[in-house]
Chain A
Amino acid sequence: SQQGEEDPQALSIQEGENATMNCSYKTSINNLQWYRQNSGRGLVHLILIRSNEREKHSGRLRVTLDTSKKSSSLLITASRAADTASYFCATDEGTYKYIFGTGTRLKVLA
């Protein structure tokens, strides 16, 4: 079964708006990661947040982690058309295998 589940499944916004997507997971983790996948390509790592961290920033990306609720959110600020992609969270289930969710498809309209 999937460890991480992203919400919403699909999101459509205007360029310049912020995009927020959420991830829920089931078991304890060492870290949670977010990846981006452009159509027809492999996944690209965006950011890793460890279980003892609550928030992390990287450029226009902001990730939060709430281990008590077993959830994380990814915020993309001032979105651009180039941000159009699918976004996945991945957790390690406390082991060394990464389990991915089903992803959020983000479309940024110019």
Chain B
Amino acid sequence: DAGITQSPRHKVTETGTPVTLRCHQTENHRYMYWYRQDPGHGLRLIHYSYGVKDTDKGEVSDGYSVSRSKTEDFLLTLESATSSQTSVYFCAISEGPHTEAFFGQGTRLTVV
């Protein structure tokens, strides 16, 4: 497996609390992505990064923010968690803009 680590792997949080998910890579890949996966929707892109401090929105970015202060870490923050953000979150990395992506094992987030 590519060197991608997501943390935590599981989290239960209360509505209205902030939550930060971390994606850490050891591959030195330039591109990093956050997706959420929900039944019937497949994977939807939340935010992505094309370099340190360079990020952009995906399809479903409302309620989420990201930061990338160094190559290896890409943080996803839910400013004020809602039940609709209960999902499985996947981080992915790729070396180039049009190359294969490698995925982490996912973080299962439940907002109660």
Binding site for B on A (CB under 8 A): 1-2, 30-31, 33, 35, 41-45, 48, 50, 88, 90, 92, 95-103
Taking CB atoms, residues of chain A closer than 8 Å to B94 are 98
List of 6 A-B pairs having minimum Cβ-Cβ separation, nearest first: A96-B97, A102-B42, A42-B103, A100-B43, A45-B100, A43-B103
Give the residue of A1, A45, A98 whose beta carbon is less than 8 angstroms from that of B33: A98
Closest residue on chain B to residue A46 by CB atoms: B100
Whether A42 and B104, one on each chain, are in contact in the complex, defined by CB atoms closer than 8 angstroms, is yes
- The verdict on B70 contacting chain A, using a C-beta distance below 8 Å, is no
Secondary structure at chain B's binding surface: helix, strand, loop or mixed? Answer: strand
Whether B98 and A92, one on each chain, are in contact in the complex, defined by CB atoms closer than 8 angstroms, is yes
Given contacts A97-B58, A100-B35, contact A2 B42 (CB under 8 A): yes
Give the residue of B40, B41, B56, B101 whose beta carbon is less than 8 angstroms from that of A98: B101
A57 to B103, CA, bound (A): 22
Q: Indicate the size class of the contact surface on chain B.
A: 20 to 34
Taking CB atoms, residues of chain A closer than 8 Å to B98 are 30-31, 50, 92, 96
Taking CB atoms, residues of chain B closer than 8 Å to A42 are 90, 103-106
Whether A102 and B41, one on each chain, are in contact in the complex, defined by CB atoms closer than 8 angstroms, is yes
Whether A45 and B90, one on each chain, are in contact in the complex, defined by CB atoms closer than 8 angstroms, is no
Whether B31 and A88, one on each chain, are in contact in the complex, defined by CB atoms closer than 8 angstroms, is no
Taking CB atoms, residues of chain B closer than 8 Å to A41 are 105-106
Closest residue on chain A to residue B56 by CB atoms: A97
A33 to B33, CA, bound (A): 16
A90 to B58, CA, bound (A): 14
Give the residue of B40, B100, B103 whose beta carbon is less than 8 angstroms from that of A102: B40
| B9-67, CB < 8 A from A | 31, 33, 35, 40-45, 48, 50, 56, 58-59
Closest residue on chain B to residue A86 by CB atoms: B42
A96 to chain B, nearest CB (A): 3
- The verdict on B81 contacting chain A, using a C-beta distance below 8 Å, is no
